[in-house]
């Protein structure tokens, strides 16, 4: 990611900032996937993961 930023903007990111940016990207992506798998109401996803959602004890389902 820092290479891409360096190539496009010509900015060499400090290691800490690069880690932070990558972590934010990672958490956003993981959060999106988790939302899709555990909270989305789209029927095919819900039906496929219904039992799994109930099995986690803290994930609400209908």
Partner 1 sequence: MSLIKFPLLLFFLVLSPIITTHTEARAKTIDLQIQPGLDKIRPVSKPARLTLTLRDGAGKAIDRTRFQIRLYAPPRGLFFSTDFPQVEGTPLIEIESPAFQGKVEWEYVFPIRGVYRLEVSAVDGVGDRVKQVFPLRIRESRTKLVYLGTFLVGLFLFALMVGRLFTLRGRETHIAVGLLWLAGSVLSIFPAMAQELTTKVPGDKEFLVRLEVSPPTVGQLSEIRWRLSEKETGMPYPTHLTLAITQLEKGKRIFFLKQIPTDGNLAFKFHFVDGSPHRVSSIAELKGRNPIRVEKVVAVTGIEPPKAVSLRALVLFLGVLVLGLITGRMSRRWKKR
**Contact residues: partner 1, CB under 8 A:** 1-3, 15, 18-19, 22-23, 26-27, 29-31, 33-35, 37-39, 41, 45, 47-62
Residue 10 or 54: the one with the smaller Cβ distance to partner 1 is 54
Alpha-carbon distances, residue 35 vs 29, 30, 40, 56 (angstroms): 10, 8, 6, 14
Residue 11 or 33: the one with the smaller Cβ distance to partner 1 is 33
C-beta atoms surrounding 49 within 10 Å: 18
Secondary element (H or E) of residue 11: none
- Least spacing, CB of residue 11 vs partner 1, in Å: 15
């Amino acid at each position: 990611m820092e290479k891409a930023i360096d190539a496009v903007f010509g900015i060499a990111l400090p290691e800490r900032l690069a880690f932070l940016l990558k972590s934010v990207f990672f958490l956003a992506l993981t959060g999106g996937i988790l939302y899709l798998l555990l909270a989305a109401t789209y029927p095919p996803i819900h039906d496929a993961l219904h039992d799994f959602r109930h099995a986690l004890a803290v994930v609400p389902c209908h």
